[in-house]
Amino acid sequence: MKNLIQSLLLFFLFISFTASSSIDENEKFLSFLEKEWQWELAQNPVYATAMGVKGFETQWPDNSLKGIKLREAHIQDSFVELKKFDPNSLNKTNQLNLRLYTQLTQTALSISEYNRYLFPFNHRGGVQLAHEAVESLPLNTAEDYRFWIERLKNLDKRIERTISVARLGLEKNYKAPRVLMERVYRQIKIQSKQNIEDNPFYKVFKELPSTIPLEEQKALRKDARKTIKEEIIPSYKLLEDFFKTEYLPQTRLTVGLYDTPKGKELYEQLAKSFTTTNLTPKEIHNIGLGEVARIRGEMEEVIKEVKFEGTFKEFLVFLREDKRFYYDTAEELFEGYLAVSKRIDPELVALFGKLPRTPYGLRPIPMESAPDTTTAYYMPPAPGGLRPGYYYVNLYKPETRPKFEMEVLSVHEAVPGHHLQISLAMEKEDMPMFRRVSPYTAFVEGWGLYSESLGYELGLYTDPYSKFGQLTYDMWRAVRLVSTQACIILSGRDSKL
């Protein structure tokens, strides 16, 4: 009996120790993830402010070469730390978290080998569009606006560092396509104009919240004008001169990544990263060819349905030229998007048992970037209801934006597409933040594409032209699978791809 009791005591002690160790290991791992998240916020201070985190209100990301190298070193150290966690000592949820975070870290390390930071300019974002950061920031009080002004006073350092990195890129033959950099140059010139009232950075100060006393509003506008005149415009003039005399003349006429150092290898790595598969670019290309053929067949059926007499090409010309398919003004186009969204929202309960608590709003894409960006995009919300999500629509040249594309765009970008999926993920407070912010393009865009197919169940695409619009976006994606690989196959000689 004595031996039995001793054996039982030892058994229970072992079980207790094992359970305690397992709990400690899970807590240790979650603590590691939280520490990494806080580091991510510190590296992206504008994003941190947008997420409601205090303490970063006057900062920009450190885009100096030193800052970039420190980030790469940190990711390497994090990968080493991740290897120390034994999956068997974690519960099933954290085993999944470990696999996911390890994959993200490993991907970041793999891509960092290709020095993408040496391409510091992007026509859809970057230092030349820094004023658009305010779209995601909380601007409710006088203090919020003062923080924004202080952040603007630090913008000169970011511009100087961008120029320094760009010069290094040129030295190492990292040269961007001219067809894209000409758009960046146009955006820079908008920022360096001398008329302060028309400067993009002043736009946010024109209509301040009525809760801010009038005298304080005057003081904020005065400080903003002074900052723009003495610091913003001179800094962008410096960037404009650099871009015109040094950077733009050295851009390349080709468009494919093949024409950059290790470009083909980078392209293959990006294909793996974005698809989360081991498909080769050639295999993706072939999938695209198959999809183009399938979608073309469905388009031909719609053309028959509307009894159009003519070729496929003639039908596309008809869609581009018939004015009934377009609004005359940007205001009418915006109201059209608003009407589509209002039709979709009440239908969601028929398809989904759980909807996000977070609302979304509709906004026009800022005019400075509208000519150079996509038809629409989505900006995720901040956690805790601090800011709704926003569905941005492009109102530039409304006469070129067909009505029959509005339904498919709305279900993809807003609901049941990006807003529904991303907001529900953000609201899952039992998950670590790296998963709540939806970092997987394949899943996020895959859900958006799936949502387009739900339009039929939501009572959309009843008009054959709207159905053709849905197929148009299917075709757009399929053609991209073909054309991106063609840039490699054809050595990127045709910039029209």
**Per-residue pLDDT, 115:** 97
Whether 104 maps to a domain, the answer reads: yes
Q: What is the mean pLDDT of residues 187-204?
A: 94
pLDDT band for position 23 (50/70/90)?
A: low
pLDDT band for position 13 (50/70/90)?
A: very low
Q: What is the mean pLDDT of residues 91-103?
A: 98
Q: Rounded mean pLDDT of the chain?
A: 93
Whether 225 maps to a domain, the answer reads: yes
pLDDT band for position 40 (50/70/90)?
A: very high
pLDDT of residue 493 exceeding 70, the answer is no
**Per-residue pLDDT, 483:** 84
pLDDT of residue 450 exceeding 50, the answer is yes
Q: Are residues 227 and 243 in the same domain?
A: yes
Q: What is the mean pLDDT of residues 210-230?
A: 98
**Per-residue pLDDT, 258:** 87
Number of structural domains, the chain? 3
Which of 117, 136, 153 terminates a domain? The answer is 117
Residues 6+ apart with CB under 8 A from 224: 145, 149, 152, 201, 202, 205
Judged by phi (left if over 0) then psi (alpha if -120 to 50, else beta), residue 277 lies in beta
Which of 74, 95, 117 terminates a domain? The answer is 117
Q: Are residues 310 and 244 in the same domain?
A: no
Q: What is the mean pLDDT of residues 105-133?
A: 96
Q: Are residues 223 and 280 in the same domain?
A: no
* pLDDT over 90, % of the chain: 89
Mind giving me the DSSP string for 117-145?
Answer: GG---BTTBSGGGGGGGGGGS---SHHHH
Least confident of 64-68, 197-201, 278-282: 278-282
pLDDT of residue 51 exceeding 70, the answer is yes
SS3 content of the chain, % helix, strand, coil (to 5): 70, 5, 25
**Per-residue pLDDT, 486:** 64
pLDDT band for position 433 (50/70/90)?
A: very high
Whether 248 maps to a domain, the answer reads: yes
Whether 58 maps to a domain, the answer reads: no
Q: What is the mean pLDDT of residues 482-490?
A: 67
Q: Determine the longest span between alpha carbons in the chain, in angstroms.
A: 97
Q: Are residues 247 and 391 in the same domain?
A: no
Whether 18 maps to a domain, the answer reads: yes
Q: Are residues 205 and 297 in the same domain?
A: no
Q: Are residues 87 and 128 in the same domain?
A: no
Which of 117, 152, 181 terminates a domain? The answer is 117
**Per-residue pLDDT, 217:** 98
* Higher-pLDDT residue of 17, 335: 335
Q: Are residues 146 and 89 in the same domain?
A: no
Report d(CA 178, CA 27) in Å as an integer: 51
The pTM of the full predicted model, rounded to 2 decimals, is: 0.91
**Per-residue pLDDT, 68:** 98
In the three-class reduction of DSSP (H, G, I as helix; E, B as strand; rest coil), residue 393 is classed as: strand
Please check whether residue 350 is in contact with residue 321, taking contact to mean a CB–CB distance below 8 angstroms: no
* pLDDT over 70, % of the chain: 93
pLDDT band for position 434 (50/70/90)?
A: very high
pLDDT band for position 2 (50/70/90)?
A: low
Whether 48 maps to a domain, the answer reads: no
**Per-residue pLDDT, 22:** 55
**Per-residue pLDDT, 241:** 98
Q: Are residues 240 and 137 in the same domain?
A: yes
pLDDT band for position 193 (50/70/90)?
A: confident
Whether 352 maps to a domain, the answer reads: yes
Of 268, 177, 170, give the one whose Cα is nearest residue 497.
177
Q: Are residues 294 and 352 in the same domain?
A: yes
Whether 262 maps to a domain, the answer reads: no
**Per-residue pLDDT, 179:** 96
Please check whether residue 475 is in contact with residue 292, taking contact to mean a CB–CB distance below 8 angstroms: yes
- Range of the structural domain that residue 386 is part of: 269-489
**Per-residue pLDDT, 495:** 42
Q: For the segment 348-373, what is each residue's pLDDT rounded down to a tens digit?
A: 999 999 999 999 999 999 999 999 99
